[in-house]
Chains A and B, each alone.
Chain A
Amino acid sequence: MKTLAFGMVVLGAIVLSLTPEPVTAAGKYDGSAPMICAAMAVTECVAGGRCQRRSADQVNFPSLFRVDVKAMKVRSLEAEKGRETSIRNVDHANGKVILSGAEGERGWTVLINEASGKMSATAAGDGEGFVIFGQCGLQ
């Protein structure tokens, strides 16, 4: 009996430890404050369906960039490149902030989980596309 009670306590502790933290309606990373994002994994795809894992540098994308929703800018943090693009649209859907824009011959989107700061971005071009996964933090 004692053993069963002890087991229940341990099980309860495990369940509690696995329960995610409560998420506020508007997360920390909803764009109300500037964020710094890191591109952690980049995949390059071509129209034929072939995709290759790359590094950000290999596809000429900054490893670190700043997302400033209020200023409607996404800007590289790498001093020597000093690149930026304007955000055209900002949407909020199901706890995600979705930014999009167009630049040159490409359209792009950046989706950030407002609670966790996890970032997914795409850049679509003519017969090619890039998918970038990363993590954002508050500046």
Chain B
Amino acid sequence: MMGRGRGIVASVLGALVFVAPQLGTAQPYIYPDRGQTFQQQESDKGQCYGWAVQQTGFDPANPQVAVGPPPPSYYPQQPQAPEGGMLRGAAGGAALGAVGGAIGGDAGKGAAIGAGVGALFGGMRRMRYEEQQQQQMQQQQQQQQMYMAQQQNAMSQGRANYERAFSACMSARGYTVR
């Protein structure tokens, strides 16, 4: 009874393995050299599946490889809104208003008077934000490409190992696997 139950479980597992996505690789052809019945074949497949997964750590029904976390996606930081934001873009009218306010004494209150002397035009600096952003984006893309390549390699390797183990198991049980 127990043996029959295990056989059913193994058959189901075997069916799952071959229904599961095969990562674009062809399914192996299995020929029963000793005239095993279909039920026996399914049982053997299921057991060899479990053994191969255990041996290789790669499960074709749930293909996962350990290559570390993916690099974080690149979200460029937005430049901070300038303090004089009201002067930007089409806010010419607001700028004029600011001039008016300044003349009226609002914007100029406590301004420069008594403040330290510093460079006005000499203190201007180029904004390198966009250049930095481009560099960061390129680095990020390279990292992501490397990560994808690593993942694909690891996946292919895991799959190949699994197939070798599965094939070895099935061969030992009297099947020809190609």
Q: Hey, what's the 0/1 contact readout for B78-110 against A, CB within 8 Å counting as 1? A: 010011110110011001101110110001101
Q: Are A104 and B119 interface neighbours, CB within 8 A?
A: yes
Chain A interface size, under 10 / 10 to 19 / 20 to 34 / 35 or more: 35 or more
Which of the segments A6-14, A20-28, A58-66 contacts the partner chain? A58-66
B26 part of interface (Cβ distance < 8 Å): no
Report the separation of the CA atoms of residues A46 and B126 in the bound assembly, to the nearest whole angstrom.
9
Question: Residues of B within 8 Å of A, CB-based: how many?
Answer: 37
**Chain A contact residues: over half helix, strand or loop, or mixed?**
strand
- Tell me the chain B residues, 103-128 only, with Cβ under 8 Å from chain A: 103, 107-108, 110-112, 114-127
Taking the closest CB of chain B, its distance from the CB of A32, in whole angstroms, is 15
Interface residues of A (CB under 8 A from B): 36-40, 44, 46, 52, 54-66, 74-79, 81-85, 101, 103-106, 108, 123, 125, 128, 130, 134-139
- When distances are taken between beta carbons in the complex, the residues of chain B under 8 Å from A137 are 96, 99-100, 102-103
Interface residues, chain B, with chain A CB atoms under 8 Å away: 79, 82-85, 87-88, 91-92, 95-96, 98-100, 102-103, 107-108, 110-112, 114-127, 129-130
Q: 6 A-B contacts, Cβ less than 8 Å apart?
A: A36-B108, A38-B95, A82-B117, A104-B123, A130-B124, A136-B99
Q: A36-B108, A85-B122 are in contact. Are A55 and B115 (CB under 8 A)?
A: no
